[in-house]
Amino acid sequence: MKKTLFMVACLLLTFPTISLAESVETSSETTITTTEETTTDSTTEPTEDTSSSSVDLETTDSSSEVKVTAEDSAEDVEDFIKDKLGDTKEVDKRVLDTSTAEGLRGLLMEADYGITEKELETFTDTQLMNAMTLFKRYNSDISGMDLGAYVRVLRALYTNKTLSWDKASAQLSFNPSNFKSFTGMIAQVSELQAYLAALYPSGSSFFPVKNISDEELIAILNYLQPIENEIVTSGNQLFPGRIAWIINAVEKGDYKTAPQTSAVASGSTTVTSSGSSAATTSSSKAQSTTQKNNNSNLPKTGESSRTIFTIIGVALILVAGLLIFRRMKK
């Protein structure tokens, strides 16, 4: 019996020691949590600063790229026209002033424009004048062209029939040259689409353009506007015509990798990255706050629980000792 009571007393004495160990462990975990929170905050904040710098640098680079594009683009469009139409001489003013089919026939026979007198006789006066109406519009839309280009328009209308006079003439009330900017055309993008489809259909033997969506066309107009701004700011006028710029952009797809688009995309990516970092910081802080709140419910140093168990242990030892003493007296 004595041995049993003695072992119970020893076991009771171990509770304060266990309590102390747990308290120390809890205190250590709390310290580690605080250290992790501080480390997370100090690591995340520089990420946001770096992201801001990234946006500024990329925007600056994009601006310089737009300037370079504006300086070279006019020449690129002119080369594109040559690839489509070949080398053409500047339009003879007499051609544009011609108001009769008879006068037009005479001009066509003055030089070799790729049409014989026999072929010319197969076209009616009305057909010749209809082709001249479209030819004048093409000169405005694209660039000045000689009668060799006129002959191609004539054949596209009435020989190859890859152009329709009825469809084209119905769209002539829309004149791209009347607009003062590319972005000014966005409000009438549907009319511009109809115009391109009628005068520049994808199957045209004269000057075709592939079909694109309204969204793509708007993207092109937005892409071309900074280039026009740069040209006008330098004291020059937009040349060649607006339609030539649009078709060149469609064919080459430059608008898909436009500098300003890259700047916006990079900015968005950077902002998203910053947002993720901020979210990570907030999440870390929230977790740390939760841990703090949970830890606040426990003794911070373990002193209170150790004291309670010590008192209980001492009391039990005294009781056990008293029982042993009484037993020995008996």
- Higher-pLDDT residue of 232 and 43 is 232
Reported residue count of the chain is: 330
Q: What is the pLDDT of residue 304?
A: 53
| Mean pLDDT in residue range 107-136 | 95
Please enumerate, as own/partner, the contacts of 150-156 that have beta carbons within 8 Å and a separation of 24 or more.
150/95, 150/108, 150/113, 151/108, 151/113, 151/114, 151/115, 152/85, 152/205, 152/206, 153/206, 154/115, 154/123, 154/127, 154/128, 155/205, 156/204, 156/205, 156/206
| 51: confidence class by pLDDT, cuts 50, 70, 90 | very low
Q: What is the pLDDT of residue 330?
A: 60
Q: Is the pLDDT of residue 231 over 90?
A: yes
C-alpha torsion 293→297→302→307, nearest 10:
170
pLDDT at 86: 77
pLDDT for residue 57: 35
The closest alpha carbon to 224, from 122, 93, 74, 118, belongs to 74
- Give residue 126's pLDDT: 97
Q: How confident is the model at residue 96 (pLDDT cuts 50, 70, 90)?
A: confident
**Given a cut of 60, is residue 78 above it in pLDDT?**
yes
Rounded Cα gap, residues 52 and 61, in angstroms:
15
Q: pTM here?
A: 0.59
Top pLDDT among 168 and 260 is at: 168
Mean pLDDT of the chain: 74
Average confidence (pLDDT) over 192-220: 96
In the prediction, which pLDDT does 305 show?
A: 56
pLDDT at 247 over 90: yes
Is the confidence at residue 161, as pLDDT, over 50? yes
pLDDT over 70 (residue 287) = no
Pick the more confident residue, 147 or 262.
147
Q: Which of 109, 110, 134, 112 is nearest to 120 (CA)?
A: 109
pLDDT over threshold 60, residue 293? no
114: left (phi over 0), alpha (psi -120 to 50) or beta: left
Q: How many whole angstroms separate alpha carbon 253 and alpha carbon 205?
A: 22
**Span 214-234, average pLDDT:** 95
Quote the pLDDT of residue 259: 54
**Percent of the chain residues past pLDDT 90, beyond the cut:** 45
